[in-house]
Structure 1
Amino acid sequence: MKKIISWAIIIYVLYCIGMAWYLFSFADSSIPAEWKGTTADPATFLTPREQVLSEQYSQWKNFLFFVSVPYDWLAYLAVLWLGVAKALQTWSEKATKSFVVQAAFYVFWLSIIMSVLTLPFDFISYRISRAYGVSTQSVFSWMRDETTDFLVNTVMLFLLVVVLYGLIRRFEKRWWLYAWMVSVPFTIFFMFIQPVVIDPLYNNFYPLKDKVLEAKILALAEKADIPSDHVFEVNMSEKTNALNAYVTGIGSHARIVLWDTTLQRLQEKEVLFIMAHEMGHYVMKHVYWGVASYIVLTFAGLFVAGRVMNWLIRRWGEYFHLHKISALASLPLFLLVISVLNFSVSPVVNMVSRYEEHAADEYAIKLTKDADAAISSFQKLTKEGLNQVNPPIIVKIFRYTHPSILERIVFLERIKRGD
């Protein structure tokens, strides 16, 4: 056991060193020569200091992402290897005979342990964002959001455990299929209530305050056949200087949300382009396609997870203090396997997302016919969020759900040229 833990730590440290070398010394984020001096070149819209800050900030955030993912895996393994998962199960079984109460006890304490283990990375990420001026959030506000995350995630995990392990205990071989069948209506229901139940726990949402701009946005929405009551503003300026907008929800709760920072720092034409982009997602029903894709991936994920967990328990059960998948002590193993699977498919998921984002850009430029406003909006998104214009390939593959700023501006430049 000591050898396994020692080797796991050594491999992780070497991996961190390798990622640091790649991101801070080797990776090339320069602009191709043919686009030097154009609107896609950060030297044309960022000051020299902003270029340095953008590069440094992106490097640190990317590094934290790539080292925190396997760190989470090690944390789950440690909980298993050190017998913590088994101890939590024993305590919960001694405390009550009710499976539901046992699950509540187990999930709460496992969530506490994992939150404590991962808190350093979360806090470092927050401090970096504050240090570079991207985050404006106070420590108290950040802690409040972290607490809200903990409560929401714990409740969701509790519901998952009660249903999942109830099915595992009743259907030993086909539990993954029944679990997937239950997940379908739950996923749809969650997407339906998220904008009106979950999101307001973090921020205040309200109709657009600028009525003149609202009238123009609603006129644009009318062209796209989008209901006027589906456009909202959110007070993100209390937490960040970054700019953003997004589409969320399904059915009557579907809505387009604009950050107030976007409304405050972009000109009217730029806001209209951003709005048209989000309308493109709405019109092309990307949220619905996303839900459908998630349901398909859940089917495959549960199928694979069941088989991988059974194999791991047969092969390493003694080290994990596990003998069967139906034990509550197997929950960290389940979460570990799901996390690894999610990371494994993220390049494909991100690629599909980038395709949808590009399609939304195409829709927006056709609707607004204003490439200059689109270009300047992307430049300001980069400036305020300190984003890399041309991220390293590994970063793009694993982190970018949108095309890079370079790709987006180049696309618009080619439209202007008539290419």
Structure 2
Amino acid sequence: MAKKWAFRAILAYALLGLILYAYLFYIAGSGVPESFKGSSADPSTFMNAKEILLSEDFSKIKNLLFFLSTPYEWLLYFLIMILGVSRMFEKWAKGTVKNGFLQTAIYLFWLSITTFIAIFPFQYISYQVSKAYNISTQTFSMWMKDETIDFWVNYLLMLIIVSVLYGLMKRFKQRWWLAAWALSVPFTIFMMFIQPVLIDPLYNEFYPLKNKELEAKILSLADQAGIPANHVFEVDMSEKTNSLNAYVTGVGSNSRIVLWDTTLEQLTDDEILFVMAHEMAHYVEKHIYIGIGIYLLLSFFGLFLASKLMRGIVANYGEEIKVDRVASLRSLPLFLLIISVLLFAVSPFSNWISRYQETRADRYAIELTQDKEAAITSFQKLSKVGLSQVNPPLLVKIFRYGHPTMLERLNMLEQYKMDTKEKEDPAESSP
């Protein structure tokens, strides 16, 4: 029975892969509508023919990898359960030590190693594709260093979470999800507080912005926006990527304004000020706190659904998936599978919220800087350097885009210009 279920799952994944490939490479269109030809949103106005071709090819490959990787994760968790691998890891852990925390650490280590090895091909292909299209500048050793850091950071965080979660499952058999959610509130806020000062520096070196003249302009902009900032941080990303980025991270006194050195090298000061004004908008409009609130709300219902689904699946199919009870460590792949499916299912909604916030941030940045030309050219450069599609397929936008498409953003900027002009014309024609 287990082999039959495993075969069917693998076959279903293969068929899904073929459907996704056909959709992304042959069915879905990503060209610019005729009405946008010649506008600032038309790639031919800021990319040459080769760059347009490369952006299409690169985006299709990355989109395919994205849509294949998540179901692959589901398949992996399913196979780990149904083939008895998770049960074997639990037996190894219990047969090695008697301490419950150490058993969890051993079980989680074997599960983490297994998933890391199984998912590694996707990670490596993604890295090689980025290298081939001149997006990534990392050497293999540098890339592996980041992957190793990722593994241990995720392992340590998961060890804390899983130890607490399964402790709650044993103590509160019916309401463990509610206790877990209650503890997730302070944990989430704590992680956002320490992320900029403890975790981010593990991957990159942060230092005060070298260009003091530009820093003064950014801090002046921050002052206009009412953001309490004394420094702007620069991070050396050119040794890893050619992509551009800037962001405001952290909460409270640990908030940071951060610029990638690639952004400093490839954007003008006016374009950088627009990008920073956009990032400042998230702080001003409290998008970080709204995001925390939405996340906690979704996690409340997510944990509730996970508890119901786990109980029902274990009760009806426990023998087939080799899980005897919900509170057993061997049920962790089932929990991770359910959470991953729920996160994917809710991603269209969370992405829609994010796109709405990003649109508001774009408008705020225009109003703060009063420089729409810099806004347009900065978005064009972001598309060109990142080889991103200006008008991605609908499913890609729904499931992958937390930002509006470049077509939407650039069109909004052009419309904003036309609206401004229309408001000025009556005054110019009045006696």
> Which whole-Å CA distance do the structure 1 matches of 2:342 and 2:88 have between them?
27
| 8 Å CA contact 2:215, 2:231 repeated in 1 | no
Distance 1:252 1:368, change over 3 A: same
Deviations 1:74-111 (A, max 9, x none): 11011101111001111111111110010010111110
CA shift digits 1:311-355 (9 cap, x unpaired): 111222111111100000001111111000000000000000000
Summarize the alignment of residues 127-206 of structure 1 with structure 2, pairs less than 5 Å apart.
127-206=128-207
SS at match of 1:295: helix
d(CA) in 2 for partners of 1:234 and 1:286? 23
CA distance in 2 between counterparts of 1:95 and 1:372 reads: 65
Distance 1:326 1:221 in 2: 49
Corresponding letter in the other structure for 2:399: F
Contact 2:209-2:232 within 8 A present in 1 as well: yes
1:227 positional shift: 2.0
Q: Name the CA distance, whole Å, in 1 between partners of 2:44 and 2:34.
A: 13
3-state SS, counterpart of residue 233 of structure 1:
strand
Give how far 1:215 is off: 1.2
Aligned length: 419
Instruction: For 1:276, give the aligned amino acid.
Output: A
- Give the letter for the 2:205 counterpart: N
Cα distance, 1:256 vs structure 2: 2.1
Find the aligned partners of 2:231 and 2:75 in 1 and give their Cα distance: 43
In the TM superposition, what are the counterparts of 1:84-103 in structure 2 within 5 Å?
A: 84-103=85-104
| 226-235 or 103-112: bigger deviation | 226-235
Structure 2 residue matching 1:149: 3-state secondary structure = helix
- Residue aligning to 1:252: 253
Amino acid at match of 1:169: K
**123-132 or 209-218, which moves further after superposition?**
209-218
Contact 1:247-1:287 within 8 A present in 2 as well: no
1:8-407 to 2 correspondence within 5 Å? 8-229=9-230, 231-407=232-408
**Unaligned stretches of 5+ in structure 2?**
423-431
SS at match of 1:30: coil
Instruction: Quote how far apart the aligned CAs of 1:297 are.
Output: 1.3
Which amino acid counterpart does residue 396 of structure 2 have in structure 1?
V
Shift of 1:230: 5.1
| TM-score (norm: length of structure 2) | 0.96
Q: Aligned equivalents of 2:233 and 2:404: distance in 1?
A: 25
Moved more, 205-214 or 268-277: 205-214
Distance 1:3 1:86 in 2: 19
Q: CA deviation at 1:235?
A: 1.0
Task: Tell me whether 394-403 or 214-223 shows the greater mean CA deviation.
Answer: 214-223
Q: Which 10-residue stretch deviates more, 108-117 or 5-14?
A: 5-14
Q: Which stretch of the first structure deviates more once superposed, 221-230 or 401-410?
A: 221-230
Q: Distance in 2 between matches of 1:247 and 1:271?
A: 13
Once the two structures are overlaid, the 10-residue window that deviates more, 122-131 or 211-220, is 211-220
Residues of 2 paired with 1:289 and 1:205: CA distance?
27
CA distance 1:211–1:167, shift in 2 (3 Å): same
C-alpha contact (below 8 Å) 1:168/1:175 kept by paired residues: yes
* Cα shift at 1:229: 2.4
Whole-angstrom CA distance in 1 between matches of 2:297 and 2:311: 22
The residue type equivalent to 1:215 in the other structure is A
After alignment, is 217-226 or 392-401 more displaced? 217-226
Aligned residues of 1:245 and 1:262 also touching (Cα < 8 A): yes
State the distance in 2 between where 1:109 and 1:37 align.
55
Task: Give the conservation status (yes or no) of the 8 Å contact 1:136–1:238.
Answer: yes
Q: Give how far 1:226 is off.
A: 1.4
Note the aligned Cα RMSD (angstroms): 0.9
Counterparts of 1:352 and 1:124, CA distance in 2: 31
Once the two structures are superposed, residues 45-66 of structure 1 have per-residue CA deviations (whole angstroms, 9 ceiling, x without a partner) of: 0010000000000000000000
2:318 partner SS: helix
| Matched residue type, 1:67 | L
Secondary structure in 2 matching 1:206: strand
For residues 216 and 183 of structure 1, the distance between their equivalents in structure 2, rounded to whole angstroms, comes to: 39
Amino acid in the other structure paired with 2:139: S
> In 1, Cα distance between the equivalents of 2:171 and 2:228?
46
- In 1, distance between residues paired with 2:248 and 2:169? 36
| TM-superposed deviation, 1:295 | 1.2
